[in-house]
Structure formats: structure tokens, C-alpha cells
Structure 1
């Protein structure tokens, strides 16, 4: 995630538009599922009520997950903008193969530096932000998301 430069602004707008379009399509699908669940609830039959309640849980969980992801996306962009304004945004300058894959040794080296920085300053949201991108470069997406969530929590706090 980087700050918006003139060359990246159209790509960023397209990404946001694509995410918004997918969210709108998913919302339409969730609305259809919810209306079916309500129809089952209205049958008055115990089986229909049970199925309706069970089906109604799915759209509610999906809405919660979507809201959580959008909130995280906005927070990550806000943090990226702050780091870019301060000239501290991590730069993806790791060597890559001709196919675009990041060199594992370089990613491991960058990760070790970022991890040491986060361990030295555990309350610094920027260190956790950079650690998240180091995890991502190293191929550990789960830990990258955890580090971003930590950075967001520290940034809010």
C-alpha cells in the first residue's frame, strides 16, 4: 500500500471501484438470501423457522466480515498516507525473478530487519506496518494480516 502518486491514482481508483462493485454484488446476493430466510420464517412451521434462522445467520456474518474488511482497508490506506507524507513508507525494492516472484533470500533478510525493528519498538504502529509488508514479501499472508491489524490497533490507540 502506498500513497497516491499521479501514476498510481487511476489504478487506485480502479481497485476501489472494483472492490465497491464486488461488495454491491455480494450485497445483492445477501439481500436475496435474507429474503428467502424471512420467507422460511413466515411459514410458521418449526422446520421452516429453524431453516430461516439458520440461513439468516449467513448474511449477518457476511455483512460483519465485509464491514471489517472495508474498515481495515481504509485504516491501512490512512496509515500508508501518513507514512508517505513523512517519507517513511516501505519501498518494494526486493529483487524479483523474471516471472515477478520475490527472491526468498532477500525477503528473509528484509523480514529479519523489520522483525527486529518491531521487537525494538512494540508500540510503534509504523514498525508493525512495515513488518506486515515484510511478512507478505516472505509469503506469510496470515501473519501479514495479523501485523496489519496490530498496526491499526496501535494507530487508533
Structure 2
């Protein structure tokens, strides 16, 4: 639940940033000065890019949560526990020991979204967020494909 609160706070802060920057951009555009107009255009481009990035990340979070809930309902989430440090970060050695199993699952069934999601959880536990997100994105795409094929 605290992650949702953090995301909500960050989204509100980014929305406030977008509004304030857009206001300044509008003032610069209306100045009529060539430098001011160029800066105003840039200030409008940055909030659009920020809003796109925020929307993309929020949608990724929603879809990852939906896929995770579906896997949980099927009782397919990993059952192993990994010890954590006082900071809450998993012990990498334990996570690394579990990783080969989940990689082998994906190699055995590359079109199984469940295996990809579990691999993403293993990457995350091992501290490799970039690969974790890529594996979960792959799981989301495969789950969407399997859901539309079942219709």
C-alpha cells in the first residue's frame, strides 16, 4: 500500500510541475521575443514528455499488478522466500541461487507469460531492475496475447 501512496504523491508532484512549467512556457511564448518563444516551446515539450513518461510507467504498474494478481489466483507465484536486510532489500546471494530455476523455466517455455513473470520477480529479487522490468513487460505482452487468443 505504501508503494501506491508513493506513486500517488509523485504523480501529484509531477502534475504540479507540469502545470507550473506550462504556465511559464505560455508566458515566454507570449513575450514575442525570439529567445523567449524558443524557451516557451521547449518548456511545453518537456511537460508533454514528462506526462507521457508518467502515463507509461503508471500503465506498466497497473498491468503488472493485474498479471501478478492473475498468477496469484492461479497459485503460480514463487513460494520460496528470500531473506531481506534491515533496509528491506533482499539478500542477493539467496536470490541469485533461485535465479537459474526461473531462467530454465523461460528457456523451456518461451511463450509462457507465467514463466516470464516469475523470471521478472527473480531478477527483481537479485537487484537487476532493468531486466526485471523487461521480463515483466514480456509477460504482460504474452498474457495479453493468450487472453485474446482464448476469446
TM bucket (normalised to shorter chain) is 0.7 to 0.9
When the two structures are superposed, what TM-score results if normalisation uses the length of structure 2? 0.86
- For residues 60 and 92 of structure 1, do their structure 2 counterparts lie closer, same or farther at Cα, with a shift above 3 Å needed? farther
Aligned positions, number: 145
Root-mean-square deviation (CA), in Å? 1.8
Please state if 1:93 is matched with 2:81: yes
Q: Which moved more, 1:84-93 or 1:48-57?
A: 84-93
Corresponding residue to 2:64 among 76, 91, 96: 76
Cα shift at 1:100: 5.2
Counterpart Cα distance in 2 of 1:99 and 1:65: 28
Cα shift at 1:95: 3.6
- For residues 66 and 97 of structure 1, do their structure 2 counterparts lie closer, same or farther at Cα, with a shift above 3 Å needed? closer
Residue aligning to 2:13: 25
Matches within 5 A, 1:71-150: 71-91=59-79, 93-96=81-84, 101-150=89-138
Name structure 1 gaps, 5 residues minimum: 1-11
Residues 66-88 of structure 1, C-alpha deviation per residue, up to 9 Å, x if partnerless?
10111011101101111111111
Question: Secondary structure of the equivalent of 1:113?
Answer: helix
- For residues 138 and 39 of structure 1, do their structure 2 counterparts lie closer, same or farther at Cα, with a shift above 3 Å needed? same
Counterpart Cα distance in 2 of 1:100 and 1:47: 49
Q: Which structure ranks higher in relative contact order (CA pairs < 8 Å, sequence separation ≥ 6)?
A: 1
Name structure 2 gaps, 5 residues minimum: 146-151
- For residues 140 and 41 of structure 1, do their structure 2 counterparts lie closer, same or farther at Cα, with a shift above 3 Å needed? same
- For residues 45 and 79 of structure 1, do their structure 2 counterparts lie closer, same or farther at Cα, with a shift above 3 Å needed? same
Question: Secondary structure of the equivalent of 1:88?
Answer: coil
Cα shift at 1:101: 4.9
When the two structures are superposed, what TM-score results if normalisation uses the length of structure 1? 0.83
Residue aligning to 2:140: 152
Report which of the two has the higher share of helix. 2
Cα shift at 1:98: 6.5
